[in-house]
Amino acid sequence: MPADLDLPLGKRYISPSRLRDQLKMANDQEKEAAGRASVRFVKDGQIVGLGTGSTAAYAVRFLGERVRQGLKIRGIPTSVATRDLAASLGIPLATLEEFQQIDVTIDGADEVDPHFNLIKGGGGALLREKIIASASRQNIIIGDSGKKVSMLGKFPLPVEIIPFAQPLLARRIEALGAKVKLRLKADGSPFVTDEHHHILDCHFGRIPDPPALARQLDAMPGVVEHGLFIGTTTVVLIAKGHDVEEFRSSS
């Protein structure tokens, strides 16, 4: 059926592919708006944590623009991909060997609940992201309107593991109520993180008590890190259309 076929009563048919394109465009516009809003938290002379993922990439690009305009910062990237992007934009880079205290980090999230708990790791960088978040005075989390949820869990929780322990950990996490899948690349081989680990994507559906689940996962030998970020967030910026809402943690 043609994309714009007239239907009775003034209705118009939109093909599934065109609808997907329109939704993606709207989603990208929200990500861009959130990324643009986030860079106002960065001041001259600061050490800045650079997040990973499609939303964080917008923030990195806008920081690159500000650097070209004269902003003086040093960026510590949370992944090889972000390192390469930042370097291509002329952002001066640093490491944790040089700076153990980071002024502000800008990063995305896969889900944000009303208590500022997060699921992160869809881009595979959760370990480095959590390390950088733990060293940051401020953590600015940015996202499109779909990232704000009433309860975590619809997005599969990434758990970074040592490959040796994979069968054991998959069974133990399944015992907690999740459907567990090993993350694969397009060619069918296991996805490998920057730190050479594997990721189990754990579909819980609902996570009513994120801190309790975080403690259970922390206690499992072989789990390197998980994508539950508890008590790390300072500010959340959620874009809806062209507007950006700001939420501040009270803690």
Cβ atoms within 10 A of the Cβ of 26, count?
Answer: 13
Query: 132 and 190 share a domain?
Result: no
| pLDDT per position as a tens digit, 11-32 | 555 666 665 666 667 789 999 9
55 touches 142 (CB < 8 A): yes
Count structural domains, the chain. 2
Query: 236 and 112 share a domain?
Result: yes
Query: 117 and 48 share a domain?
Result: yes
Query: 123 and 162 share a domain?
Result: no
Nearest-angstrom CA–CA distance, 32 and 45 = 24
Query: 201 and 86 share a domain?
Result: no
Query: 38 and 59 share a domain?
Result: yes
Query: 52 and 172 share a domain?
Result: no
Q: Is residue 30 part of a domain?
A: yes
- Residue 27, pLDDT score: 86
Query: 56 and 139 share a domain?
Result: yes
Query: 144 and 169 share a domain?
Result: no
Query: 116 and 196 share a domain?
Result: no
| pLDDT per position as a tens digit, 77-123 | 999 999 999 999 999 999 999 999 999 999 999 999 999 999 999 99
Instruction: Kindly give the pairing relationship between strand 228-229 and strand 118-119.
Output: antiparallel
Q: Is residue 179 part of a domain?
A: yes
Q: Is residue 15 part of a domain?
A: no
CATH number at residue 212: 3.30.70.260
Query: 134 and 27 share a domain?
Result: yes
Q: Is residue 45 part of a domain?
A: yes
| pLDDT per position as a tens digit, 126-166 | 999 999 999 999 999 999 999 999 999 999 999 999 999 99
List the catalytic residue out of 129, 174, 195, 245: 129
| pLDDT per position as a tens digit, 191-205 | 999 999 999 999 999
Nearest-angstrom CA–CA distance, 161 and 166 = 7
CATH number at residue 112: 3.40.50.1360
Query: 125 and 30 share a domain?
Result: yes
| pLDDT per position as a tens digit, 175-227 | 999 999 999 999 999 999 999 999 999 999 999 999 999 999 999 999 999 99
Q: What is the mean pLDDT of the chain?
A: 93
- Residue 250, pLDDT score: 80
Q: Is residue 6 part of a domain?
A: no
Q: Is residue 8 part of a domain?
A: no
Q: What is the DSSP string of 171-234?
A: HHHHTTT-EEEE-B-TTSSBP--TTS-EEEEEE-S--S-HHHHHHHHHTSTTEEEESEE-S--S
Q: Is residue 213 part of a domain?
A: yes
Q: Is residue 98 part of a domain?
A: yes
Per the structure, the complete domain to which residue 91 belongs is given by 20-149+230-240
pTM (predicted TM-score) = 0.89
Instruction: Say whether 195 is catalytic.
Output: no
